[in-house]
Chain A
């Protein structure tokens, strides 16, 4: 196992911290505090439900924004700022650099998400003391969100290897939204009369990452069990898709001439 990605990952994390990315936690904290205080007045009887829904949705949304906006700059920013020049003259392979950048952002997201989960737990505790056993499901939902973010990060990294930040954002967002609607698209295809369209939608369904697999927010909020098989499945799906994207990114980047 090569060691070169490690310092790159640590440095990427350091960059995020010094860029004050983690300040988004302040907004999250304010949001949770506000919600915890107001929820009792607005929605009686479903306080815990609302806090969990709001908290998990916010974790997902904040994380998504970060994964995309930082992700699309992972490679392109280094090329634009020419910081890559001296780095690539070192004994580090192109794919090692990519893996390092990827791991660094995923690490940042994991740290960020962990803090947010703590905040959610605090708000939940405030609103409905003691924790019940089903609250552990929230952790599963958070894990799924992390898998989702890891996937989105891989997507934005891939585009970052050859596209400008603006375009990469559009592509990544486009694929994300398509992925969320993957089920609907396939359904739509099944109801049409045109066989061509049916094939196209079916192919699209399998091609695009199916983000709806990772949505356990409602389940966690309602305390429904999430089967272990789903956890294993989602982990595998994410791992495979991330591997695919990193391999593709590697292929693109290893042949890229830096201006």
Chain B
């Protein structure tokens, strides 16, 4: 064979390379479509043991913690609000993140609010409480974690004395805002009342920077406000009935009777209505949701 033509070799490569790559890509797509069902069903977390992962990280724990944390946020974000979503991996991901970096405060705080979230979340207050306690042990000066612990005891477990304790302990920590002590006292005295609950959630809102948590807090605060308003409206309705012998049909009636200064609207601007049972209720168009948490506590199984 004569010496090959170098130009020809180049042209062959130029032509063949894209074709071969296209064939490879097509084949890969075929492979993927066949295994897709299997892999996508379970979101795999190949390693679950935080201790093992920590050992395998060869000193790069802090970075790995950030990676797992990021994954936790994305995992949760993809599912939050989706009907029937499961949250199996949230706890392991948060557990691993905080084991790799015990000072990753944001992870504890996220777990406090969302790990314990019932309905639209995994509802595992029983895991959230030890998580936050672990966070406090590793970060003894972090007052924000006491807000989270106080929140968990108050909102999820309805354990007002424990909540007040946590808040009180936190209020003594360096940098703690003055309202923490006030909150502790209020919880001790009026645990379970709507305005105390609103105060707790305001604490969550104020002390957090995570937009997911703040959004959740805002929603809850709005719901609590709405519930408070409803209670007030019910009282006014009873007054109305005393005067006029029947229940008001709408808030307009109350206004005409001089019992209300202006049309009562919920925190998102929708006017309240009166339901068929004569009780004040949210406008059917309103996106405000009254939290169900108030009526039944989560269980804490030790």
**Same assembly:** yes
Give the interface of A toward B (CB within 8 A): 42-46, 49-50, 53-54, 57, 60-61, 177, 180-181, 184, 211-212, 215, 217-218, 221-222, 224
Q: What is the CA–CA distance of A221 and B58 in the complex, to the nearest angstrom?
A: 17
Give the interface of B toward A (CB within 8 A): 55, 58-63, 65-66, 69-70, 73-74, 101, 103-104, 106, 209-211
Contacts of B104 in A (CB 8 A): 46, 49
Given pairs A57-B63, A61-B60, A217-B60, 11 additional interface contacts (CB within 8 A): A43-B66, A45-B210, A46-B66, A49-B66, A49-B104, A53-B62, A54-B66, A57-B60, A60-B59, A180-B59, A211-B59
Chain A residue nearest to B100 (CB atoms) is A218
- Contact assessment for A212 and B66 in the assembled complex, using a CB-CB cutoff below 8 Å: no
Q: Closest CB of chain A to B105's CB: distance in Å?
A: 9
Chain B residue nearest to A222 (CB atoms) is B103
- Contact assessment for A212 and B55 in the assembled complex, using a CB-CB cutoff below 8 Å: no
Contacts of B103 in A (CB 8 A): 218, 222, 224
Q: What is the CA–CA distance of A44 and B62 in the complex, to the nearest angstrom?
A: 16
Contacts of B69 in A (CB 8 A): 43, 46
Q: Which of A46, A50, A57, A181 contacts B55 (CB 8 A)?
A: A181
19 contacts between A and B (CB under 8 A): A42-B74, A43-B66, A43-B69, A43-B70, A44-B73, A45-B209, A46-B104, A49-B66, A49-B104, A54-B63, A57-B60, A57-B63, A60-B60, A180-B58, A180-B59, A217-B59, A218-B103, A222-B103, A224-B103
3 closest cross-chain pairs (CB), A and B: A218-B62, A53-B63, A57-B63
Q: What is the CA–CA distance of A2 and B43 in the complex, to the nearest angstrom?
A: 63
- Contact assessment for B63 and A177 in the assembled complex, using a CB-CB cutoff below 8 Å: no
Contacts of B61 in A (CB 8 A): 218
Chain B residue nearest to A46 (CB atoms) is B106
- Contact assessment for A44 and B210 in the assembled complex, using a CB-CB cutoff below 8 Å: yes
Q: What is the CA–CA distance of A43 and B55 in the complex, to the nearest angstrom?
A: 24
Q: Which of B60, B62, B73, B101 contacts A43 (CB 8 A)?
A: B73
Q: Closest CB of chain A to B284's CB: distance in Å?
A: 34
- Summarize B's interface: helix, strand, loop or mixed: helix
Q: Closest CB of chain B to A177's CB: distance in Å?
A: 7
- Contact assessment for B66 and A184 in the assembled complex, using a CB-CB cutoff below 8 Å: no
Contacts of A46 in B (CB 8 A): 66, 69, 104, 106
- Contact assessment for B66 and A215 in the assembled complex, using a CB-CB cutoff below 8 Å: no
Q: Which of A42, A57, A184 contacts B62 (CB 8 A)?
A: A57
Q: What is the CA–CA distance of A222 and B66 in the complex, to the nearest angstrom?
A: 12
Contacts of A50 in B (CB 8 A): 66
Q: Closest CB of chain A to B52's CB: distance in Å?
A: 11
Contacts of B101 in A (CB 8 A): 218
Q: What is the CA–CA distance of A42 and B73 in the complex, to the nearest angstrom?
A: 9
Chain B residue nearest to A179 (CB atoms) is B59
Q: Closest CB of chain A to B99's CB: distance in Å?
A: 12
Chain A residue nearest to B57 (CB atoms) is A180
Chain B residue nearest to A181 (CB atoms) is B55
Q: Closest CB of chain B to A145's CB: distance in Å?
A: 10
Contacts of B65 in A (CB 8 A): 53
Q: What is the CA–CA distance of A50 and B70 in the complex, to the nearest angstrom?
A: 10
Contacts of B73 in A (CB 8 A): 43-44
- Contact assessment for A217 and B210 in the assembled complex, using a CB-CB cutoff below 8 Å: no
Contacts of B211 in A (CB 8 A): 44
Contacts of A54 in B (CB 8 A): 63, 66
Contacts of B58 in A (CB 8 A): 177, 180
Q: Which of B55, B66, B74, B209 contacts A53 (CB 8 A)?
A: B66
Q: What is the CA–CA distance of A53 and B60 in the complex, to the nearest angstrom?
A: 8
Q: What is the CA–CA distance of A46 and B67 in the complex, to the nearest angstrom?
A: 11
